[in-house]
Structure formats: structure tokens, C-alpha cells
Amino acid sequence: MLTPTLRLMIRLVLRRNLQDTGVIPKTATDNYYLVAALESHMSDLDEKQLLLYAQMANLIKMILPSVEVDLREITENFSKLSCNAHSICDDQLRPLGTGLYPVISIINHSCSPNSVLVFEGRIAVVRAMQPIHKGDEILISYIEIAATTETRQEYLKQYFFTCSCLRCIKNPLEERKENAILEGYRCKDHKCIGYLFYEAKEKKFTCQVCGLSRDEYEINRIAKEVSTKCASLASTVNPSEASLLYRNLELLELKLFHPHSIKLLQTRETLLKILMELNDWRGALTYCWLTIPVYQTFSTDINAHY
């Protein structure tokens, strides 16, 4: 079976052929030569990756023997797909395939985007998440923004650039605060959404908002319970059973992690998918709303996405 990337390249080659021969028209947004303007980053690839793309180009030539194929061009196009193509998902977040949208591919990245890319069937739509004034740049995120700066920069290596948005160049104290929110623990007072810094001498985590502390031993005890609970999920197949187990995990994580932590977010996103699978749309919507505060931390008005 052909991979989504190979299928996309075959469609791209055939579309170019049909447009060049005048069988189908070229438009401002549907024009093969828009692909030519995209970055390929061929010079940044290692020999192993270049060889793989060259082999894939030869495979395209074998699949389309009656079509004139420029192997060098196809090789370069595979490189362009790797950093410009998008995974298309349905309204239940299930992957449908891979698409290339050259106009959208020129939109720059930010870890604090003002817009978001969504799909309505095969149609790609860029939605504003906050008011965008005339002259302001439209920015989307190429990656998951609920991540620390170190993790985001690692994700972005596949696009061959280093992000220098405001989130990525913040001062060390703000960096430590963001890490404590995304990967740290919650305040002892559950009404407080403060973030905790570790104090090695006293072996405790202290809230930087209200001043309450949590003992390292208590944190480790609950963390061990969470780890045990996660291990029990590995063998779960039945969606109804999985829903119950993940809800129990969520309750345990609520005692441990910051309300905007990545761990809690991931558990809730898993529950969201399970509930959609069970056709529990009211429950799924509840968890959808519970994920929003995490993203609001990094975007002025994430509600526009929903």
C-alpha cells in the first residue's frame, strides 16, 4: 500500500502534467509552480535522507511510466513535503491523509500564534484567534504549543529554523515559571493556581503566589501512584473501561500536577477522543473546554478556535 506522502506526490505530478497540457486550469491558489517557491532545505539534509528521497523519486517514476518525470525535481519535492505538508484530520481529530497547501505554507510560525490552521474536509482554513489589525503578520504554530521552550525548539528542528518569538526569548525567570506550570506541580491550596519552585535545601516545593509548600516525599508518593496507574492503562482496549480508568487517572493527576500541566492536558485530550469514540458528545465537549485554559496561557483569545 502506498504511503500518504507517495500518494500526495503522485497527485502532484499528475496535476502538474494536466495543468501544463491545459487539461485543467491554473489559478492563483491552484498552480503547480507555487510549489517551486517553497523551501526544500536540500542543503541541510544528510546523505542518508537525500538517498531516501532519491529512491522515492525513482519509485514515482516506476508507478507513472507514461508520465515524464524529472527525478531531481521530484527528489527536491519530497524534501519540500517533509517541511511544508500538513496532516489533514476530520472533525473528530482522526487523520485522513496528507495535503500540500503552498499558500498556507508561506505563513510563518510563532509559539504564540494569532491564528490556527483547521480543516473542513479537504479545505484548509486559517482562523484568527484574536483581532488582527491591518499590517499585522498572520502567524500559526507548526507544532504543539503546550510545551517548554526546549521541547518546542526540538520539535522545530524538522523545519530547519530556530524560533525567536517572544516565548522563546523570554528571560530566565519567566522561562522557569513556564516550565513550572507546564511540567511542575500544583499548589497545596487547590483554590490557588500558583506555580511551584523546588527548594533543594528544604526538600520542598514552594508556591510562588501564596507561599504554601509541598513536601518532596508527598510529591513522590503521589507521583508513584500516577506511574502505577499509567502502567495499568497499557493493556486497556475497551473504550468504556478506558474511559473509567482515565477518569481515575485524571483525579489522581489533579492532586499532583499544575492545572495547566502537559500531563493533565494529555490525559484530558485522551479522554476527549475516547468519549467521541463512545459518541458521548456532551462529555467530549466538557473535556474540550477543560483543555482551553492551557492554550489560553500562550494565546490572547483561544476561544475563536472553538
| pLDDT tens digit at each of 306 positions of the chain | 788 899 999 999 999 999 988 899 988 888 888 998 899 999 999 999 999 999 999 999 999 999 988 999 999 999 999 989 888 877 766 778 888 999 899 999 999 999 999 888 888 999 998 899 999 999 999 999 999 999 999 999 999 999 999 999 999 999 999 999 999 999 999 999 999 999 999 999 999 999 999 999 999 999 999 988 888 776 667 889 889 999 999 999 999 999 999 999 999 999 999 999 899 999 999 999 999 888 887 764 433 333
pLDDT at position 295? 85
C-alpha cell at 293: 485554559
Sole residue written with cell 485543467: 24
For the entire predicted model, the pTM comes to: 0.83
Separation of alpha carbons 205 and 202, rounded Å: 9
pLDDT at position 302? 38
Separation of alpha carbons 167 and 184, rounded Å: 18
CB 195 within 8 A of CB 207: yes
Q: Where are the beta strands (DSSP E) in the chain?
A: 86-89, 95-99, 108-109, 115-120, 123-128, 139-140, 196-199, 204-207, 213-215
Q: How far apart are the first and last CA of the chain?
A: 36
Counting Cβ atoms within 10 Å, is residue 74 exposed (0-12), middle (13-18) or buried (19+)? buried
Separation of alpha carbons 186 and 132, rounded Å: 34
Report all structural domains of the chain as residue ranges with CATH numbers, in order of start.
4-84 (1.10.220.160), 107-159 (2.170.270.10), 176-305 (no CATH)
